[in-house]
Amino acid sequence: MKFFHFTLLTTVLFFTSFSYSQNELEESECSRKGSYIKALLAKNVNYPGDESIDIKYYGLELQTFLQPNSITGKVRIISSVVMPDLLSVFFDLNNSFTVSSVKINDNNVSFTHSNNKLQIQLDRVYTMLEQFTTDIEYAGVPGTSGFGSFVFSQHNGEPVIWSLSEPYGTSEWFPCKDTPADKADSSDVYVRVPSTLFAVSNGKLIDVIDNGDLTKTYKWKNSYPIAHYLISVAISNYHEYLTHFNYSQSDSMPVVHYIYPENFTSYKTNLDKTISILEIFTGTYGEYPFIREKYGHAECGFSGGMEHQTISSMGAFSETIIAHELAHQWFGDKVTCKDWQNIWLNEGFATYSEGIFLQNYYGETRFDQYITGKMNQAKLASGSVYAQDISSVSSIFNYNRTYAKGAMILHMLRGITGDSLFFQIMKHYNSQPHLAYNVATTEDFQIATEAILMKPMDYFFQQWIYGTGYPTYNVNWNYIPAGGELNKINLSITQSSHNNPTYFTMPIQIKILTSITDTIITVFNDNQIQNFELIVRGTPQQLILDPNNYILKNATVTNIDDIKDIPSEFYLGQNYPNPFNPITTISWQIVNNSFVTLKVYDFLGKEVQTLVSEYKNQGTYKTEFDASDLTSGIYFYELKADDLVSTKKLVLIK
Ligand SMILES: [Zn+2]
């Protein structure tokens, strides 16, 4: 889902049963439209539903009523038993409904309905893997918590009714097992509405019945596995705009838009881009997951979009929102996060896909701008991308953390792997037989990544998914001649101390501009203070850390020779790098032609190496000190020329 956010002000109403912390309030982001205000926090986290059953099928027959707004429902749920000797089950259903009847395999059974749970006594004992059908009839006013689970509203004087269940709102309009972890194999949604309105849902429209009483029933059939929260309805006086995605020489799929008549003309240009975006994502992620059915948009009254399976509900039609919700069909709908802690697998992927669309459609400049913007948002993220607190809707859907930083983690992975392997990973992940049309965790994505790269990536996922923050690099460098046109760059990377992890492990690209050529060298930075030696052709002129902006970071890069203010007198410089292992460079200067010694002493004053002992002309020199044979510790180096002496300290860390 994609939503516009606003800073929480005093205008938002809270129900008395909500509890919240100040921290949650500060982080709160949600959407609103006119006087309609969405409650920010999940009212009751029924999650994760009854674990003694496996859902096979949801069949909804709903009728909506206006003035007053309410619904009646007949819902059929087919379940398979996954626990021995099952006597009772429960489904999650809002207390606001009155349940009139529950049948198990056509037999009336007793039930209780409290705490938003419908507890049902089965008609007999069921054994493992047996299936049974539950038919539930209920009526009442749906709930509107979260992002507004089921909303009656208006546009231009006409009714519009929509559902938006994610994350905890499904049970506010139909009985379900309230967890994304358990997909039904298929679903049907039949909706009876006043004849002037059009009801839209998942899958294919298989029939429209005129009931002869100024109502019509729209029958939608979905034949793919579906998570409960991706089942949707959208109802209004829609203008239907049908286009086609020609995905092969001979095959096409309907792409159909249900738009408020008054908005169609202004939206048409962006709606027509849906086909191009489908082509881009098909190329990068593989075949559209619901190719036998459709893709579509249903306009609704909230601000943003929600990726209901095969039919995104849309409050806005910017091209990035269209791209975001469409990308969710692969990442969110085909492969669904198993729990809300792993919501970045939905939102980080859909957000990064906005960038993939911009890169393919508009080119690199637009993509780079997008990445810079997302990085700035990602830097504001607090806490781990793995959502620690799923009791709060605003915490799960925290934009900076779940969306922006989640997206930038994919960008960093792409930086490490390169484009070819990255898109192989994305295709492999969403086509794995045990993940496709099923659910996944971060570990499943890590395994898919490692399968393509054929190497462990634990360091990457641990620090970026379960850790917090991002690295701050302090980079210093200088160079000395290394024979002929070669020069040796001494590169020192120091990371500021951090909580979790203490420092970040990342391959870092270094672009080196020399008098002869430009090169990019990748160093593997896996220590808080680390020195590298790089041999280049030509005189080094500039070093750029992470030239393609792959890493979420702050960095300063300094050529220490530029800042050295060498006086015009006898001078001994601080060795660089320092601390070092095992080679460092010492700069020094003499103003008269004279006999020079440069010697290294240990902590006790014992000479360990003579670096220079000869007659030298006046000038500035760089001398290398190789401490391979010495042990870690503090050493001193001393320069003598004429009657002048200077001593400095250096630190060898092995
Ligand atoms: Zn999204």
- Asked if 458 and 501 sit in the same domain, the reply is no
- Asked if 545 and 574 sit in the same domain, the reply is no
CATH of the domain at 510: 2.60.40
In a domain, 547, yes or no: yes
Least confident of 173-182, 304-313, 572-581, 630-639: 572-581
3-class secondary-structure state, position 463: helix
Q: What is the Å distance from ligand 1's center to 346 Cα?
A: 6
Spatial separation of the C-alpha atoms in residues 177 and 165, rounded to whole Å:
13
pLDDT at 376 over 70: yes
Structure confidence at residue 346 as a pLDDT band (50, 70, 90): very high
- Asked if 451 and 437 sit in the same domain, the reply is yes
In a domain, 362, yes or no: yes
Can you tell me the mean pLDDT for 272-299? 98
Read off the pTM.
Answer: 0.87
Residue type, 533: E
Q: What is the Å distance from ligand 1's center to 330 Cα?
A: 12
Q: What is the pLDDT of residues 14-50, one digit of tens each?
A: 333 333 333 332 233 233 222 222 333 333 344 689 9
Q: Which residues contact 14 (CB under 8 A, 6 or more apart)?
A: 20, 39, 40, 41
pLDDT for the residue numbered 254: 98
CATH of the domain at 415: 1.10.390.10
pLDDT for the residue numbered 22: 31
Q: What is the pLDDT of residues 509-559, one digit of tens each?
A: 999 999 999 999 999 999 999 999 999 999 999 999 999 999 999 999 999
Last residue of a domain, one of 492, 527, 562: 562
Percent of the chain with pLDDT over 90: 87
- The b-or-e profile of 319-330 (16+ CB within 10 A means b, else e) is bbbbbbbbbbbb
Number of residues that make up the chain: 654
Positive or negative: CA dihedral 73, 78, 82, 83: positive
Spatial separation of the C-alpha atoms in residues 306 and 309, rounded to whole Å:
9
pLDDT at 367 over 80: yes
450: containing domain: 349-466
Q: What is the Å distance from ligand 1's center to 90 Cα?
A: 30
H-helix or E-strand spanning residue 282? helix 264-285
649: left (phi over 0), alpha (psi -120 to 50) or beta: beta
Residue with tokens 């939102």: 347
pLDDT for the residue numbered 136: 98
Residue 201 has, within 13 A of its CA and on its CB side, a CA count of 29
Contact present, 77 and 57 (Cβ < 8 Å): yes
- Asked if 551 and 612 sit in the same domain, the reply is no
Spatial separation of the C-alpha atoms in residues 68 and 439, rounded to whole Å:
39
In sequence order, the β-bridge partners of residue 511 are 520, 544
Structure confidence at residue 566 as a pLDDT band (50, 70, 90): low
State the chain's mean pLDDT as an integer.
92
- Asked if 556 and 571 sit in the same domain, the reply is no
pLDDT for the residue numbered 310: 98
Q: What is the Å distance from ligand 1's center to 332 Cα?
A: 8
In a domain, 489, yes or no: yes
Last residue of a domain, one of 512, 547, 562: 562
189: left (phi over 0), alpha (psi -120 to 50) or beta: beta
**Cis ω for the linkage preceding 501 (within 30 of 0):** yes
Q: What is the Å distance from ligand 1's center to 613 Cα?
A: 69
- Asked if 491 and 507 sit in the same domain, the reply is yes
Structure confidence at residue 146 as a pLDDT band (50, 70, 90): confident
Last residue of a domain, one of 562, 591, 612: 562
Q: From the CB of residue 71, how many other CB atoms can be counted at a distance below 10 Å?
A: 22
**Would you report the helix, strand and coil content of the chain in percent, each value rounded to 5?**
20, 40, 35
pLDDT at 150 over 80: yes
In a domain, 407, yes or no: yes
Q: From the CB of residue 510, how many other CB atoms can be counted at a distance below 10 Å?
A: 22
pLDDT for the residue numbered 23: 34
Can you tell me the mean pLDDT for 497-507? 96
In a domain, 188, yes or no: no
Spatial separation of the C-alpha atoms in residues 296 and 345, rounded to whole Å:
22
Percent of the chain with pLDDT over 70: 93
Residue 519 to residues 515, 516, 535, 540: CA-CA distances in angstroms? 11, 10, 11, 11
Spatial separation of the C-alpha atoms in residues 356 and 60, rounded to whole Å:
36
Q: What is the Å distance from ligand 1's center to 150 Cα?
A: 18
Structure confidence at residue 565 as a pLDDT band (50, 70, 90): low
Look at the chain and report how many structural domains it folds into: 3
In a domain, 499, yes or no: yes
Can you tell me the mean pLDDT for 357-365? 98
Q: What is the Å distance from ligand 1's center to 399 Cα?
A: 10
User: 477, 476, 478, 482: which is closest to 535 by C-alpha?
Assistant: 482
- Asked if 535 and 571 sit in the same domain, the reply is no
- Asked if 542 and 508 sit in the same domain, the reply is yes
pLDDT for the residue numbered 47: 65
Q: What is the Å distance from ligand 1's center to 152 Cα?
A: 23
H-helix or E-strand spanning residue 571? strand 571-572
List residues, by chain if needed, whose CB lies under 5 Å from ion ligand 1: 1-2, 347, 350
In a domain, 440, yes or no: yes
- Asked if 359 and 459 sit in the same domain, the reply is yes
Can you tell me the mean pLDDT for 391-401? 95
- Asked if 410 and 495 sit in the same domain, the reply is no
pLDDT for the residue numbered 4: 64
Q: What is the Å distance from ligand 1's center to 310 Cα?
A: 14
Q: What is the pLDDT of residues 626-654, one digit of tens each?
A: 999 999 999 999 999 988 999 999 999 98
- Asked if 434 and 357 sit in the same domain, the reply is yes
CATH of the domain at 619: 2.60.40.2550
pLDDT at 7 over 50: no
Q: What is the Å distance from ligand 1's center to 344 Cα?
A: 9
- Asked if 418 and 499 sit in the same domain, the reply is no
In a domain, 640, yes or no: yes
Q: What is the pLDDT of residues 574-596, one digit of tens each?
A: 999 999 989 999 999 998 899 99
Spatial separation of the C-alpha atoms in residues 62 and 199, rounded to whole Å:
11
Across 271-369, where does the E strand assignment appear?
Answer: 295-299, 304-306, 312-314, 335-337
Q: What is the Å distance from ligand 1's center to 121 Cα?
A: 38
Least confident of 279-293, 331-345, 406-420, 616-630: 616-630
Spatial separation of the C-alpha atoms in residues 199 and 236, rounded to whole Å:
7
Structure confidence at residue 348 as a pLDDT band (50, 70, 90): very high
